[in-house]
Amino acid sequence: MDLVSKIDVQELNFFYGSKQALKDISIICPEKRVTAIIGPSGCGKSTFIRTLNRMNDVVAGTRVEGKILIDDQDILAPGVNVVQLRRSVGMVFQKPNPFPKSIFDNVAYGLRINGLRDRQRIPEIVERSLRQAALWEEVKDRLRDNAFSLSGGQQQRLCIARALAVKPEIILFDEPCSAIDPIATAKIEELIFALKEQYSVVIVTHNMQQAARVSDFTAFLMMGELVEFDRTDKIFTNPSNKLTEEYVTGRFG
Amino acid sequence: MERHFDEELKEVKEKLLRMAALVEESIAQSIQGLKEEREDLPREVLRREDEVNSLDVEVDGLGLKLLALNQPMAIDLRFISVVLRIGRDLERMGDLAVNIAERTLDIIRFPRLKPLIDIPRMADAAQKMVRDSLTAFIEKDADLARDICRRDDDVDQLNDQVFRELLTYMMQDPSSISRAVDLILVSRNLERIADHATNIAEDVIYFVEGRTIKHHCEGGLRKNPS
């Protein structure tokens, strides 16, 4: 199947004050594929993924240069509606962060603040989102329970359902499994694999094996620079760059 | 929990079995060509070799990719390592079938030295071993695999028998030497095919039970070593 560019990052530079965190990064994340960003701590992975829905805007003293084209529109350009951007580029964070509300209301929240009031549509979308997040069967009889009554892995899938409810096109995962156990991790990984049928996914992970398992493309960053970007099987069986080879074989990092 | 990894394991297994089917067909045709003195069958075996080789490369590549990207454990790990080894054995069997086909093309150009008796018996035994080793793999049947390891001795004995008999022909009549040597080579190739089937059977036991029995490790063929 031919690949279509979903996110086209061109010569991206990012600064925290005078410190440069990303240097001339150019990557194309294809549509309906999983792109993983790997690299040692502090290499700029999280900074990078946060530029994709402008989450860094809220950090004072930051500056960004370059272009990020999503469906050919530069999301860094002035006048971009950031709220709309974040609706189409959903994000799931390291620690599950459900709202202190019921399971149902967590998923319905995004719909309501986006103005949906339809009493029939909301439950439909909530169910659909929970099914897509592979959580429906576990929670369908307790939708009114508080979200904090769920296990960590379930809470994380709830956050995924919440992101899916507003029909994003891209989902960003920032270390989605680092706070949950291996069985729950395996479930999230299966879920990510299923999500790429409909969504374009970018995942940051410090777990190299996870990148190998779930992604189609992998970018290796080091000290804010892109060292190598290629198909995941190439990166993990025969990388072109010596630094990548040393990192994926555990010789440093 | 369903794993997408299972789909990938299935894919590599299907490729391996496709390769196995081609190799079995090659072995059968090389021998049938010899028995029926037909030229078309060994020629088909020669033509098929490329296909077998490219499947071998595919199975290898896929197996390595699965190891690298999925960090398989326990039975998944044993499965992939066994698939890689079976692939290698099948590829060698394919080469041996090609050898037999080449000998056959040579042999049928001349009058028959003697009626074929032991070689077809050997061929039957070896083919059955190949077939059973693959069945044992598919069915995860370690008992059947053990049985195959035992049967290897029968094929070895037939090979010795063929050699001794043809030796007497050669001693009586030096003009028979080239035809006799061709038959000895056919017999030896069959014996080696049986060896590779035995390797597969040993791999199956490792896959199913996690025990290595080759070189008679861990009590060899006994099921429960004391």
Q: Which two structure tokens, joined as six digits, stand for A25?
A: 């990064």
Using an 8 Å Cβ cutoff, are B103 and B186 in contact?
Answer: yes
Domain count, chain A: 1
Asked if A134 has any chain B CB less than 8 Å from its own CB, the reply is: no
> pLDDT of B158-168, one tens digit each?
999 999 999 99
Locus of tokens 């009114």: A144
A201 part of a folded domain:
yes
Q: Residue A116 carries which DSSP code? A: -
What CATH number did the domain enclosing A220 receive?
3.40.50.300
User: Strand pairing partners for A30?
Assistant: A5
- Residue B221 to residue B152: CA distance in whole angstroms: 12
> pLDDT of A169-201, one tens digit each?
999 999 999 888 888 899 999 999 999 999 999
What are the extents of the domains in chain B?
4-219
**Looking at chain B, how many residues does it have?**
226
pLDDT at B206: 95
> pLDDT of A14-61, one tens digit each?
999 999 999 999 999 999 999 999 999 999 999 999 999 999 988 889
A94 part of a folded domain:
yes
Confidence class for position B37, pLDDT limits 50, 70, 90: very high
Domain span including residue A46: 5-98+170-248
A163 part of a folded domain:
no
A127 part of a folded domain:
no
For chain A, the first-to-last Cα distance in angstroms comes to: 35
Locus of tokens 């010596």: A242
Residue from B3, B5, B69, B76 to probe the interface with A (highest A Cβ count within 10 Å): B69
> pLDDT of A131-140, one tens digit each?
999 999 999 9
B4 contact residues in A (CB cutoff 8 A): 190, 193-194
Beta-sheet strands, E only, within chain B? none
- Residue A109 to residue A103: CA distance in whole angstroms: 10
> Which of A174, A152, A157 lies closest to A106 in space, CA to CA?
A157
A208 part of a folded domain:
yes
Q: What percent of chain A has pLDDT over 90?
A: 86
- Residue B91 to residue B73: CA distance in whole angstroms: 26
pTM of the model: 0.84
Locus of tokens 């990557």: A27
The 3 state secondary structure assigned to A48-70 is: HHHHCCCHHHHCCCEEEEEEEEE
Of B2, B4, B69, the CB nearest to A212: B69
A216 part of a folded domain:
yes
- Residue A194 to residue A185: CA distance in whole angstroms: 14
A162 part of a folded domain:
no
- The predicted complex's ipTM stands at 0.77
Q: Domain B4-219: give its CATH code.
A: 1.20.58.220
A47-80 in b/e form (b: 16+ CB < 10 A) is bbbbbbbbbbeeeeebebebebbbeeeebbeeee
Of A190, A213, A236, the CB nearest to B1: A190
